[in-house]
Amino acid sequence: MIRLACASWSFGALDLERAAGVVAALGFDAIDVGFHHLPIAAAGWSAPGGEALAETLARRGLELSDLFPLLPFEVNDPDLAKRRENRSRFERVLEFARAAGAPGVTIKPGEPASSLPDGGWKLAVTELAALVEGAEAAGVPLSIEPHVGSMVETPEKVTRLLAEVPRLRLTLDYSHFVYVGVPVDAPDALLSHARHVHVRQARAGKLQVPARSGEIDYQGVLGKLERVGYRGFVTSEYQHSDWHATNEVDVITESAHTLADLGPVLARG
């Protein structure tokens, strides 16, 4: 069964307790927690920290649908010491995730490193393979989110990375591909690799537009997910920030529209 969730960072101006309250008040029963709603200091990534997160969500009647932490550095940073720090932090993230009851963890795939001839591709492959191995040992599913500005801005690059990093999964978000001009149905080829899914409307040149005025047929996407056997969460990910002008829509309204538009489709499924 596919279920609908909402991202905590949709309400990034609020602390987690209040953001969770808004998510619950809108009618969602699950929440992705990420970015500044997660610990910044290394000491915060612990089993007690994960347990505290679970308690916070339980008070609001919410299930944790995913964790999206930011590692200290890009996974393919040319500096070996920084990559080692990432691996150390990721071990603590896994401890936190298990204690929180997270069904999985999403991380960024790395961004092009201009100082390296291949842009840091080989380093990204090596580091992601190591993180996948660690996540599997901990029993915590891991995925990357291909995003604008990353090593994998197109479905073709994502497919290449998946071939070079066996067992790597995806947190799939059509909006990033559509924004850079990829045909709207091209990400369909990646659906069978999805562990988690983000949804918001977009069009070429606009990463975020109102839920009922974009180019992506999300009801159709849900049907395609069903056909490939997807049984995870689909998370509404409207946000309000200066990043790619995502502050031009009302997040509460668009989150509510996403729930109203997709909730009945999932209920019928």
Domains defined for the chain, CATH in brackets = 3-268 (3.20.20.150)
The identity of residue 1, as a single letter, is M
Q: Is residue 246 over pLDDT 80?
A: yes
CA dihedral sign, ordered 30, 53, 144, 250? positive
- The helix-helix angle for 16-26 and 251-268 (nearest 10°) equals 50
Residue 137: exposure state from Cβ atoms within 10 A (0-12, 13-18, ≥19): exposed
Q: Whole-angstrom Cα distance, residue 150 to residue 147?
A: 6
- Chain-wide mean pLDDT for the chain? 96
Q: Whole-angstrom Cα distance, residue 52 to residue 50?
A: 5
- Position 48 scores a pLDDT of 97
Tell me the pLDDT band of 20, cut-offs 50, 70 and 90.
very high
Q: Whole-angstrom Cα distance, residue 173 to residue 143?
A: 12
Locate 135 and state its tokens. Answer: 């996540």
Q: Whole-angstrom Cα distance, residue 145 to residue 156?
A: 14
pTM, two decimal places:
0.97
Is 197 within 8 Å of 172 (Cβ atoms)?
yes
- Position 81 scores a pLDDT of 98
Q: Is residue 173 over pLDDT 90?
A: yes
- Position 269 scores a pLDDT of 63
Q: Is residue 82 over pLDDT 80?
A: yes
Residue among 115, 129, 131, 201 at smallest CA distance from 165: 129
